[in-house]
Amino acid sequence: MSAPTILEKIYAQRRKDVEAAKATPGTKPEDIQTYLDMGLAPTRIPLVPRLNSNPSTDTADPSLSLMAEIKRASPSKGEIAMNTNPAKQALIYALSGASVISVLTEPSWFKGSLLDMRLVRQAVDKLPNRPAILRKEFIFDEYQIAEARLHGADTVLLIVAMLTPEQLIRLYAYSVSLGMEPLVEVNNAEEMARALELGAKVIGVNNRNLHNFDVDMGTTSRLVDMVREKNVLLCALSGISGPQDGVNAVLVGEALMRAADTAVFIRELLNWPHNG
């Protein structure tokens, strides 16, 4: 029997974490549902129109939209920016023109939390045309989507590689029922076909294989053709350092977390106007 992959290890740990949360008074599934029924979740915004808007949208040569990520650490890089304040970082992202702020909420490998996401949401809440908030997580249970909604997420990540076809369909439908169009992550043609069959409107191509964390920069360009002429927003999710043909948005994490001047880095990366 082969050793578990990184993705399998994370998934196994998250199953234990979710079971513990579900058994804790105050965060049991019925509690989360009660909070949602009481209207305690912050107002959400739709992902697709927000992703279609960025500081260059009104210029003659519009650039990609940015999904800016809050990521303290990762399995492949270890510690990245352990002392970064997520709310402060999110405000810089928002004021620099990010369309989406992605917040890692996985605690063991990525050193994130739901509290990070909630505080990120609060930090940008009063801004005009605030970015959409993405819960970047290893989601396998409706509970995690309900939690995300309660804590201020506008969208969640669904990773095709870690979900059965039945799970993917069920979780996608549940997310949409809460008004959250998910970001559906794929890594190859077979997974892209599953995402398209699902009717996903926002698909992210991860150039990094989550089983071994190898990066293949050709992955996105190979899959671009599968979404041409389709009503799909395509996002490049990893290993990206500049604009890429056929892609509508780019997710950048580590490079932003390490940047000496985040706002300048974003403008230069995406060729946005100075006052964006």
At 107, which CATH number?
A: 3.20.20.70
| 40 inside domain | no
pLDDT at position 272 is 84
In 3D, which of 139, 142, 234, 143 has the Cα closest to residue 186?
A: 234
pTM for the structure as a whole: 0.94
Task: Fill in the amino acid letter for 84.
Answer: T
| 34 inside domain | no
Give the number of C-alpha atoms closer than 13 A to the C-alpha of residue 70, restricted to the C-beta side: 36
Can you list the residues of the chain whose pLDDT is less than 70? Answer: 1, 209-213, 215, 217, 239-245, 274-276
| 14 inside domain | no
pLDDT at position 276 is 43
Task: Fill in the amino acid letter for 242.
Answer: G
Pairing of strands 78-79, 155-159: unpaired
DSSP state, residue 125: T
Work out the burial of residue 45: count CB atoms within 10 Å of its CB; fewer than 13 is exposed, 13-18 middle, 19 or more buried: middle
| 2 inside domain | no
Which structural domain, as residue segments, surrounds residue 81?
50-270
Q: How many domains does the chain have?
A: 1
Question: Angle, nearest 10°, between helix axes 218-227 and 189-198?
Answer: 40
**Total number of residues shown for the chain:** 276
- CA 2 vs. chain centroid, Å, equals 30
Read off the pLDDT of residues 31-70 as tens digits, 9 standing for 90 and up. 999 999 999 999 999 999 999 999 988 888 888 999 999 9
| 151 inside domain | yes
Question: Contact at 8 Å (CB) between 56 and 276?
Answer: yes
Beta strands in the chain (DSSP E): 65-70, 73-74, 78-79, 100-104, 132-136, 155-159, 183-186, 202-205, 233-236, 249-252
* CA dist., res. 255 & res. 195, Å (int): 28
| 30 inside domain | no
pLDDT at position 41 is 97
- CA 260 vs. chain centroid, Å, equals 23
SS3 66: strand
* CA dist., res. 211 & res. 5, Å (int): 5
Pairing of strands 100-104, 78-79: unpaired
Work out the burial of residue 126: count CB atoms within 10 Å of its CB; fewer than 13 is exposed, 13-18 middle, 19 or more buried: exposed
Read off the pLDDT of residues 88-107 as tens digits, 9 standing for 90 and up. 999 999 999 999 999 999 99
| 96 inside domain | yes
pLDDT at position 4 is 84
Residue labelled with tokens 């949602």: 36
* CA dist., res. 247 & res. 203, Å (int): 10
SS3 16: helix
* CA dist., res. 50 & res. 65, Å (int): 9
Pairing of strands 100-104, 183-186: unpaired
| 124 inside domain | yes
